[in-house]
Structure 1
């Protein structure tokens, strides 16, 4: 009720195994390029498979201020980079920071940062643990760091809904624009390709054991054997369509609506939601 404003996407930032810009990413998608390959960040010898969707070519110091690097996990560095690109592409001038907000999603938080500091605690003692451990691992940190970096003080939020997180974040951001926010920065970002981050995935016994990158992840195929861990995501800027047109902003598309449900447990005999 009351959501009568059209909401459009005016900026996109992407970090993915197949590209670090929208153009790179979309060209790779159209060509059918596979982003699954042998993991190189650490020795994957104890994993069911050595494969992952690992981002390559991203150097945080090339895109972010040096002061941010020791206080952020790789996940947050990805999110800040993607948000910078999305906001820059949108061409939006915030004016009052109170009517521009941030809603993001993360399923796992900053596992790489957490693993490193826990290793420092175990090996060297508490005096060697970073003060930034108090928040750098937290799944809400992307929203906080983006809002601080761009001085955005409007509606903020965090979604933790696993694979649906990015879509849920966009849905909530759309509602904020429909309710009067001038712009929302939204999307999802994850990076947990470290031994600590993959421990839970290994325990789930749902990782694909297939070692052929072309056949490891086949989610809709009879030969599906599980999923392949990956990292990355996208950050978007959402605006009221009329306001975006008035200032000559590019519109990627309209967010027409959103729905969410839970299917019943397998074998329950109940129909899908």
Structure 2
């Protein structure tokens, strides 16, 4: 009898990246390896009237190069980025969606804002010109689920689909739910996240968090785990991943970047309760889900809030699990800004790329506190064998997510 493959581990077979410092996977990877930042003064609109003026902006993206004209009136910047990244991820995975059953393909993404820029334009039309001038596409172009919807329509994907909203933690949550669908038998899941809120309405909303940096120097704006830390810089973009079962990937001879090996999510207690933050619990549960010990983790991709109190919480959690400088820690998002729901998937993609090249990208512009217990990767790329990585993400309001990714079996570090 012929053995039947029954390996439902979820592996990543395709990556699509749109980031402020690199449009496409290779340009992005070249940028983070080289410590090149995409943070600068906003150009999408004049930020002079706002306290914060810096962002991680994708300034070389022309959607007309990548998408049919009929889609442009229907879509916000964030959806255009998601559609292009999904296209690239499918091509990277070598997937021809026409060869798969529609109900064997699903889409699970995350969003923290939806299509803010599109909505602002249509609200402006409503206010200044009247309801007859509001686009019919406003009914969905602003919505949190629009990226999942547009990707599924474009590629004929009718399997399990949805969207998760958990601010910065949401992107990891989406990938975890996609992994669940792979384990339940769905052949292919498109997952990850994009966010783009670089418009006046979105900018005003971001400022209300009280967490944005108000300075004008890009090299001193986003400094997690640094005594000068005073907030973060927002950015736009993220990553879309293709997930398949290990059995399906093997059967079609696909290249696997690595496995989504473990995941956990927790929620912080309400302020004033005296209870401990729950990030450490998320880390420990993600490791347990992956069946790994702390010593098995080769690098931690930090959430890196960029505010002393929040950085301290993360530093304490990592140290409690891994020990004093017990594991390399990095925050490549210092080159992109915090991408909200897009940040976690981009860090997962970066971790997978680090496994393939044996290089841990640096945290730029940061001078670690002298008494820091973290082994922060600064000053340039660090060469290391990376077999397993931990990615952390925290969302505004107390969301914590932790994900473990591991290298594919038998893959050599190049």
Q: Place the TM-score, normalised by the shorter chain, in its bin.
A: over 0.9
Give the 4+ runs in structure 1 shifted more than 4 A: none
Answer whether contact 2:12 2:243 (CA < 8 A) is retained.
yes
Name the SS for the 1:217 alignment partner: coil
Q: What's the CA shift for 1:4?
A: 6.5
Q: Among residues 86, 93, 100, which one is paired with 1:90 in the alignment?
A: 93
Report how many aligned residue pairs link the two structures.
271
1:159 is the counterpart of 2:164? yes
Q: Distance in 2 between matches of 1:265 and 1:230?
A: 28
Q: Among residues 64, 67, 71, which one is paired with 1:64 in the alignment?
A: 67
Tell me, which stretches of 5 or more residues in structure 2 are unaligned?
1-5, 279-414
Larger deviation: 66-75 or 216-225?
216-225
Correspondences of 1:25-174 after superposition (within 5 Å): 25-94=28-97, 95-174=100-179
Q: What's the CA shift for 1:198?
A: 1.0
Q: Distance in 2 between matches of 1:44 and 1:122?
A: 22
Q: What's the CA shift for 1:88?
A: 1.2
What is the root-mean-square deviation of aligned Cα atoms in Å? 1.3
Name the SS for the 1:82 alignment partner: helix
Q: What's the CA shift for 1:267?
A: 4.7
Query: What does residue 230 of structure 1 align with?
Result: 235
Q: Among residues 176, 184, 207, which one is paired with 1:179 in the alignment?
A: 184
Name the SS for the 1:68 alignment partner: helix
Q: Among residues 192, 203, 210, which one is paired with 1:205 in the alignment?
A: 210
Q: What's the CA shift for 1:218?
A: 1.4
- Larger strand fraction of residues: 2
Residues 78-134 of structure 1 deviation map (CA, whole Å, 9 limit, x = unaligned) = 000000000111112342110110000110010100010111111111111100011
Q: Distance in 1 between matches of 2:224 and 2:273?
A: 23
Q: What TM-score do the two structures reach when normalised by structure 1? A: 0.96
Residues 212-249 of structure 1 deviation map (CA, whole Å, 9 limit, x = unaligned) = 11110112222211111211011000001121022111
Q: What's the CA shift for 1:35?
A: 1.6
Query: What does residue 274 of structure 2 align with?
Result: 269
Residues 62-85 of structure 1 deviation map (CA, whole Å, 9 limit, x = unaligned) = 000000000100100000000000
Answer whether contact 2:7 2:245 (CA < 8 A) is retained.
no
Query: What does residue 312 of structure 2 align with?
Result: none
Q: What's the CA shift for 1:166?
A: 0.9
Q: What TM-score do the two structures reach when normalised by structure 2? A: 0.64
Answer whether contact 2:110 2:164 (CA < 8 A) is retained.
yes
Q: What's the CA shift for 1:160?
A: 0.5
Q: Distance in 1 between matches of 2:96 and 2:133?
A: 42
Q: Distance in 1 between matches of 2:51 and 2:36?
A: 24
Name the SS for the 2:242 alignment partner: strand
Answer whether contact 2:7 2:247 (CA < 8 A) is retained.
no
Q: Which has the higher contact order (CA 8 A, sep 6+)?
A: 1
Q: Distance in 1 between matches of 2:163 and 2:205?
A: 22
Q: Distance in 2 between matches of 1:183 and 1:257?
A: 19
Tell me, which stretches of 5 or more residues in structure 1 are unaligned?
none
Q: Distance in 2 between matches of 1:215 and 1:4?
A: 47
